[in-house]
Amino acid sequence: MTTQNDWISVCTDDDLVLNSGVCALVNDQQVAIFKIKSGGENKVFAVSNWDPFGKANVLYRGLLGSVDEAEVIIAPLYKQRYSLETGQCLDDESVKLTVYPVRVEQDKVLLQMVG
């Protein structure tokens, strides 16, 4: 893992599985990273891997889908739906996942940790 202007290189684009999730340990935080094909282009999202309902680090294993054209992750344990863009739980507005800014540059997946 290397840092560059507070962006952390966590893996390569080839390490990601299209339309699926992977888990990375970044600064002692488990992060679920998803690569989705949407509208003819690949999008990458990163959220906390912690499932607040199931009380386990399992979100990278969730199902991917869309609700009103927004990409969501469906938690594997109790099936809550979360927006990958905002982290908001669509089934309980009082719950929100941590969302990490993520980008891909020169085949490197870069993540910015939030405080």
CA atoms within 13 A on the CB side of 74: 8
Q: What is the pLDDT of residues 60-83, one digit of tens each?
A: 999 999 999 899 999 999 999 999
3-state secondary structure of 101: coil
For each of the chain's 115 residues, which pLDDT tens digit applies?
544 468 999 999 999 999 999 999 999 999 999 999 988 899 999 999 999 999 999 999 999 999 998 999 999 999 999 999 999 999 999 999 999 999 999 999 999 987 6
Alpha carbons 102 and 81: distance in angstroms, whole number? 20
Report the predicted TM-score, pTM, of the whole model to 2 decimal places.
0.92
User: Selecting from 3.30.1490.100, 2.102.10.10, 2.160.20.10, 3.90.1150.10, what CATH number does the domain 2-112 have?
Assistant: 2.102.10.10
Alpha carbons 37 and 41: distance in angstroms, whole number? 6
Contact 81, 65 (CB under 8 A): yes
The domain locations on the chain are 2-112
